[in-house]
Amino acid sequence: MSLIIDVGMRVSLILGLLTGLSVVVLSLVWVERKFLGRIQMRMGPMVVGPYGLLQPVADAIKLVAKEDLLSPWVDRIVYWIAPLAVFIPSFMIWVTIPISRDIVIRNMDMGLFYIIAFSVLSIVGLVAAGWASSNKYAVLGGFRAAAQLISYEIPLIMAVLGVAMLAQSLNLQEIVNQQDTYVYALVQPLGLLIFFIAGLAEIGRTPFDIHPAESEVVGGPFVEYSGAHWSIFFLAEYINTFAVAALTVLMFLGGWLLPGLSGGAITTVGVLVFFAKTYLVILIIFWFRGTFPRLRIDQLMSFGWKMLVPLSFLNIILTGCYMFYGWPAWLMSIISVTILASVFWLVSKRMNNTKKEYTVHIYKPESLEVKNAG
């Protein structure tokens, strides 16, 4: 009997997490539309509910009530499973993400490793969705997703490793507790930037939304998806966005810790602090979406491999020296900021360079004609 109660309790905990995440996603949709509207000098949603607060609910009802459109050449089984393969890993990550001290479903010693391991799995779903749609744009989108996510996985893991080295732990609770004197963003600004950029690429948000790029591959792997199937992808995307923001907060911005907050209040007020910090990071992500143009696919790949990967290795070496020789923390911050500044200088110099450089070889029409003639 107690086994049934145990299983029931945990399953209901998971269902509670699912409900909570759905509510967060609804709020994110509202915040994003409102914020983008403000950036573009519009009001955003205003009609449904006060300040358009009920707009996401209306959207959700519309999505469920939509007709299920399926092309006859779609591979039914993979088409149905692919959204699950994307959604379940992104949802399972949240099992180990704490929202305050001791408020977590399961505190794992290898929490960060668990999160990285599961975030790889969702790519399978994207590629499978692209293939099952039997649409050339969808397949291209799936290819792009795989290429992008695999290349940005490396700097992401390396940035996480830097934090793990500092905290001497992969446990998220422990990492936050270590930051009570200073947050890791001060010691590792380089790591923070690498993690944030690679995280954005990992969840495929602007400026890295290469795989669902509407103007190039008309929505990528999601072309043939509609209604409930599409809404699962949508849910997963926003849960991932929230997870990247939450991880940034936990690893670099001190999680639920706040100067002046101590004692028993940490657990309760900490939830609010955590959510406030996370939503701030989310606003930065939405701000990027409203203001940045999308990268070209070759720019994305060369940026990942030629810039982020070497920088992340440099970050690891720096952190190792810092740990081994016992450098003062301020020296580490100064070195990190100096590297960042020189990288910014190099990038801006390259961007102002008017001579066009293609990393992908592009045949000019003239050269092709010559070839044909010869």
Partner 1 sequence: MSLAGIVFYILAVISISMVGVLVLITTNYDLSLAETVFYILAAISLVGALGVVATRNVIYASFLLLTSLMGVASIYLLLLAEFLALVQILIYGGAVIIVILFFIMLTRVHEVKSITDNSQKPFAFITSLLVFGLLLAGILNSNIEVGERSSVPFTELGTSLFTQWAVPFEVASLVLLIALIGAIVIARPKEDE
The residue from 137, 143, 252, 286 that contacts partner 1 (CB under 8 A) is: 143
Q: With 0-12 CB in 10 A as exposed, 13-18 as middle and 19+ as buried, what is 7? A: exposed
Contacts of 304 (CB under 8 A, 6+ apart): 148, 151, 152, 155, 198, 201
Residue 67 contacts partner 1 per CB under 8 A: yes
Least Å distance, CB 316 to partner 1, is 15
Residue 118 contacts partner 1 per CB under 8 A: yes
Residues in 154-183 at the binding interface with partner 1, rule: CB under 8 A: 170
Least Å distance, CB 4 to partner 1, is 12
Residue 66 contacts partner 1 per CB under 8 A: yes
Residues in 187-246 at the binding interface with partner 1, rule: CB under 8 A: 226-229, 232
# residues near partner 1 by CB under 8 A:
57
Distance of alpha carbon 322 from alpha carbon 48, whole angstroms: 54
Nearer to partner 1, 228 or 280 (CB): 228
Question: Under a CB-based contact definition with an 8 Å cutoff, are residues 144 and 232 in contact?
Answer: no
Report CA-CA distances (Å) from 265 to 96, 274, 278. Answer: 22, 13, 19
Distance of alpha carbon 94 from alpha carbon 254, whole angstroms: 18
Contacts of 343 (CB under 8 A, 6+ apart): 307, 311
Residue 83 contacts partner 1 per CB under 8 A: yes
Q: Where does this chain touch partner 1 (CB under 8 A) — which range of 142-150, 281-289, 297-305, 351-359?
A: 142-150
The residue from 1, 40, 73, 263 that contacts partner 1 (CB under 8 A) is: 73
Question: Under a CB-based contact definition with an 8 Å cutoff, are residues 215 and 291 in contact?
Answer: no
Nearer to partner 1, 201 or 266 (CB): 201
Residue 309 contacts partner 1 per CB under 8 A: no
Residues 58-64: contacts with CB under 8 Å, at least 24 apart: 59/29, 60/26, 60/231, 63/227, 63/228, 63/230, 63/231, 63/234, 64/227, 64/228, 64/231
Residue 109 contacts partner 1 per CB under 8 A: yes
Q: Which residues bind partner 1 (CB under 8 A)?
A: 3, 6-7, 10-11, 14-15, 18, 63-68, 73, 75, 77-78, 80-81, 83-84, 87-88, 91-92, 106, 108-110, 113-114, 116-118, 120-121, 123-124, 127-128, 130-132, 134, 139, 142-143, 146, 150, 170, 226-229, 232, 361
